[in-house]
Structure 1
């Protein structure tokens, strides 16, 4: 086949080996470009995978920190609610105590006013009249426990000096009798008297039933009950010398 029949013409003067070398360089250049493209694609893919892994790591850390912060917030909120509840309880308790204190102070003021009113009604004596504010008896086997609170209406220039006398009415051997009760002889049953306003040292020289005070005196002690005697009532007489200043009778429950 000649060149005219194949439809291809070879430029005159071109050697055949040079024509084949041009094609080789073309394919080498094409292969280099393909390799570069493949390398770029591989590098891009590796970079994307690294970025995705880093993103997942940061996202996991963010979610962990967020969960921890949420947990801490819930704990702090619970603590805050507890403290607020305690504050409300303490505030309520404080208000209740303040109300109780105000009520007690008001009652104390009314009691003082009433006491002052009744004190003005009592007739004053030469050294101030004496009144029995409280008197109580409690049987203790063969003895009788007494508790007495005495008060002066208007203190005089000198302390009140006198003595107590306990007179019991009851029955003994089927007969009605009246007896003057004496302090119990046992040391543990002796009367303990306290004078808040008196000078110290005078009590040691007094008998168990002696009195000496300026404003008030509380006395407590034991009285002997004769064997076989059943007391029905006991009368306390407060004497100044031989003069009866005040008296009060207390009925004892039957059978005691």
Structure 2
């Protein structure tokens, strides 16, 4: 018996339906409306670091410090001091951040400071309530952050030569020569009556404010944040150690040979390095 072949007829091709023009227009309109209704993205505020020990930029015999600490995403605390013929200062003031601008809370007298950070400096502007006609100074100044001093491998050899870097100037060098070769200082500071001319990470000091002559001391205002134990490993046991009765810093004191002396100051609670000074015995 012969098998009958089963014949399967090909199904007719399915015609693709053209999209309804009215429906397509409605979808396009809804998409456009959704795009229009989508909220615009808010600009992200620029992240600016404020914390540090800022000093008034180059202006002879106009000294000042701006110390910013306890910084958060919202704000920070600061101390500010300016000193010319008179002294003016505020301490433990809170400022709220808004990008590169920070505004302080008003003091009891209504004094408000606006701090604007731009081009690696902070410009401080005081409100009218801060003015004091009996003083010759105000808070309207520009502050800079000194470069960080990095300890070189040959730090010990350098201080034995009266220097803080192998290619830097030494104690006893002529301050006029330094100014001629390096140009105008970036800033001036005057701790303990000496005048220091700040270049990058090192300050070169003369004995008296306004005097020229030989360099009598070297200062670092922004050292790497090493601990007393680190410095003891580097330099050995100090000849003096403890809390300074003068300024409250924790200090280490070393004599370097029979020529030089080295003071290293640390924040008393954190025990991180605050500054160091190399001088002549």
Query: Which structure carries more relative contact order (alpha carbon 8 Å, separation 6+)?
Result: 1
Q: Same fold (TM over 0.5)?
A: no
Please, what TM-score do these two structures have when normalized by structure 1? 0.19
Higher helix share: 1
Please, what TM-score do these two structures have when normalized by structure 2? 0.18
